[in-house]
Amino acid sequence: MKNPPTALLVATLDTKGQEALFLSACLKQQHIIVKILDAGIKGKSPVAAEIPREEIAMAGGKALTEVQNIGHEGKALQIMTEGAIKCAQKLHRQGKIHGIIGLGGSMGTTLGTGVMRALPIGFPKLMISTMASRDTRPFVGSHDILMLHSVCDLAGINRITRLVLHNGALAMAGMLKGSGNKQSDVKPLIVLSNLGTTEACSSSVRQRLEEKGNEVIIFHAVGSGGAAMEEIIRQMKVDAVVDLSLNEIGDHLFGGEYDAGPGRGTAALEKGIPTIMVPGNMDFLGGGSFHLAQKRFPDRKYHRHNEAITAVRTEHHEVKKMAAILAQRCNAASGPLVILIPQGGFSAFDRPGGPFYDPEAPRIFAQIFKKKLKEEIPLHILPYHINDPEFAQAVIQAFDMLVE
């Protein structure tokens, strides 16, 4: 990048003006141009911003005075967030910003990360927040947002905020100065879902796909991973999808930990992308800690994977419902699709000697799925376990048929 990069600094200057000015000064010391976006609602700003709050409010659909008179901080914040998103996206389209950094408490973090999630993957994003040591999923979602915990409240410049804000500026500067070293995307892009319990299949399939000259991106099917996968499929040019781990569908239906939302498994089908679907890991739900799993799913079979993760065996009525819903989604596919069902088991837990081995469940799944699926959609019910080499070979053969 010939000219110095520009960072968009998102803040509410009426409450975080001093801190924003200090952060801006730190960025400028690193030869970063700074554009300040002020989304404050009340009070006064200690400095004029390049994108003032009046402009943000109008972009959100109301005059600033209207926003100030709403009388509900959440609704007012939503309008200012929508306006800030539109302004930031416009600057990004025009090539006038190369990264985004924000700072704030709960409201400022909601605002800043809301804007960040509207910008593409790979665009540098950093949020300095009092909320960064809590559950950050509501803020980060399925995006590449770097969260930096402020340790103390962002209320004035002191020996802690000075260090944290300075380090945040250095981190942003590093991302901006290194963002020019991007490789061009020339290989066909294949998206693949996985959990550790289908790792043997996933690793074999990935290796074979890469040997064929593809670039493979694997998403960890733990809720946030599946949500990110669906979003990437909708946003980027994806050449094929190998969905080996559809457990997040069950977690959404039955209240498991790995909930990726109601749209899991739909993006590729709606876009007409060549897709292979496998009911990997549908033999269990994510139950959280053992105590939580027992409370959520009483009188079940449990497997304590570790202190934080307990798998819960799906029951036959749940298997039937997952099969019916997945078949319904497959029937709506607008592009080429192949489904492979391993009758030997859906995960490493679901095989002879495993904690969830139930030879009847895969047969029930296949029976319901076949009954609900359109006849013209290719369906292969195979005698293998999902982690058998023969099943991985069948996935590759299906892939070759779809894309070649």
pLDDT 10s digits, 211-260: 999 999 999 999 989 999 999 999 889 999 999 999 999 999 999 999 99
- Helices within 95-223 (DSSP H only): 106-116, 137-140, 159-178, 199-211
What residues does CATH 3.40.50.12030 cover in the chain? 189-403
Q: Per the structure block, which two tokens stand in for 220?
A: 């960890």
Categorize the per-residue pLDDT at 45 as very low, low, confident or very high, splitting at 50, 70 and 90.
confident
% of residues, the chain, pLDDT over 90: 87
Residue pair 103/23 in contact by the 8 Å Cβ criterion: yes
Q: Specify the pTM.
A: 0.79
**Alpha-carbon Rg of the chain, whole angstroms?**
24
Candidate CATH numbers 3.40.50.970, 3.40.50.12020, 3.30.420.40, 3.30.70.940; the one for domain 6-178: 3.40.50.12020
User: Residue 210's pLDDT band (boundaries 50, 70, 90)?
Assistant: very high
Q: Where are the alpha helices (DSSP H) in 272-359?
A: 290-296, 316-331
pLDDT recorded at residue 42: 85
User: In the prediction, which pLDDT does 182 show?
Assistant: 57
Query: The domain 189-403: what is its CATH number?
Result: 3.40.50.12030
Closest to 247 (Cα-Cα) out of 308, 292, 196: 196
| Residues of each domain in the chain carrying CATH 3.40.50.12020 | 6-178
DSSP state at residue 194: E
